[in-house]
Structure 1
Amino acid sequence: MTIDVMLPYYGDVAMMKAAVDSVLSQNDRDFRLTIVDDGYPDENLPAYFAALTAGDSRVRYLRNEINLGANGNYRKCLGLIDHEFTVIMGADDIMLPNYIETIRKGFQNPDVDLVQPGVEVIDENGEVYKPLGDNVKDFLRRRIVGQSTDAVLAGEPIAKSLITGDWLYFPSVAWRSEAIKKHSFREQYNVVQDLGLAMDIIMDGGKMMVSDTICFQYRRHRESDSSVQALDGRRFAEERAFFDECVRDFAKLGWHAAAKAARLHVSSRLHAATLAPKVIQKRMWPGLRKLAAHVVRP
């Protein structure tokens, strides 16, 4: 059962190489790594990728003729999937050596469409740490999973939990390829497209396995694109549009508790409130107004 590892790439070269090395160092060798370069401008990359593909038949490399952006490159990756299961890895994240074997175990349950394995967070320097937001994620995950080490979740309970606070780590999630290609990423989103995809699969009856086995390192940058978009308010405008969609979608399914959680979007409002001091420090007054509007939105 070969597993597709899709690596949409644009950004730091050293971190990308570390991500690639972590895939090639897996205990379970039955995978195919596909790197989709979104046109990152580095003149040394062609030689690196040529040597990489020549030295390992499990690796293929493609370079986009035009920059597609994150969402566009994700969707291109979906069209390149050939095997039953896939992961869309971040180009600055790290697979621990037991990652492939862990998700393969998760998919031994034929009803499972998503596997969220155990994750630890690393900073720009590769040091393991746990900021406040990730402590909240851990609390919300534990709240629904309980003491189970390999919990299988489905329906309104998991939808309500994720819409209350998104505790998924998208680059670490493994997907049943049939499900991810059926729903794809919603084109209008650039921050919450991963949660949107998970919700679409869950609303279609898909089940998620949540494993406690730590096998992935998610890199959280202090000045990531999502953080910048949060400070100027763009992230929360996108989140509001998504939550409004979820209210309507959940109501159609009769998931009234989940619809109420989407309407309240408490964790998103709290996130906006915690950013206010930083926005004030940077004197980003238009962003502050947008954050305040999001926090007090009726």
Structure 2
Amino acid sequence: MRKICYICPMADKKRTDIDWQDVRIFVALARYGSLSAAARMLSVNHATIARRLHSLEQSLGEKLVERRPEGYVLTPAGTQALEAASDMEQAAQLLGRGMTEGTPSGLVRINSSPGLSAGFLISRLPGLAARYPRLDIDLAFNLRSISLERYEADIAIRFDPPQDGDVIARQIATVGYGFYGTEEACRTVEAGGNLVLIGFNEADAYLSQAMWVAKHFPRARVAFRAKDQFLQSIAARTGAGLALIPHYIGRSDPLLRICDLEMTPSSKDVFLITRRRDRKESSIRIVADEVVEMFERERDLFL
């Protein structure tokens, strides 16, 4: 009897020329973890994402991603491919801008917490893009930790040092906290009036600052809730209550002053995190160094 051999489509490892558009779409899918997010970012439909991914896998002869309930995750081959594909992406950006030795070029993605993004970075980072005409900066914020290894960002600024990954973490600031409100709101509390606070949304009650307030001021009324501390500072301007916010936000707002309630949470360290393999990538290195200097120049604002 003649034997019949069934061959998996990927098993022959057949390689063909790689299409840059396939690579670009793979990077987006790996970075954002879902067809819909990648499609929105590239302004294409889901079918295009799926077709381009399949084309790249056929070209490489490897399965690059697996679909799971939480989204698409990289296979070991996909992790390797993403590293090379990200280098291709950076090279394409550099070629598109023109190559100038020692001048940062292309897109550098920075991810930070909502408070640091809105209360400090947003008013300072655009100056870098103005000074370096070939440099673009993408500032995004998340409460959750993002993955540098998935190239969701090139630089992360976080309150917690990384627990794993081949990254470099630099401690760049120590952040202190205080209760801030309008002059009238502070005088009312200091005169013995009822304590009224502005806090986090119920969905974010697990955050350390929210838990600290619930523990130390369990009877205080929380009159207004907002998702992050910068929004809480804006709400505090109305006089609706006191907001427990970082000093770098409270001290920067002329409509607010600090109100001494005798207890405040412990200060927190801030870390700038980059991939170790990017330490020789001039654009990322220059931007990271510039951000470190921003924090160093205004050290007194934080603690």
Q: TM-score, normalised by structure 1?
A: 0.33
- Based on CA coordinates, which of the two structures has the bigger radius of gyration? 2
Q: TM-score, normalised by structure 2?
A: 0.33
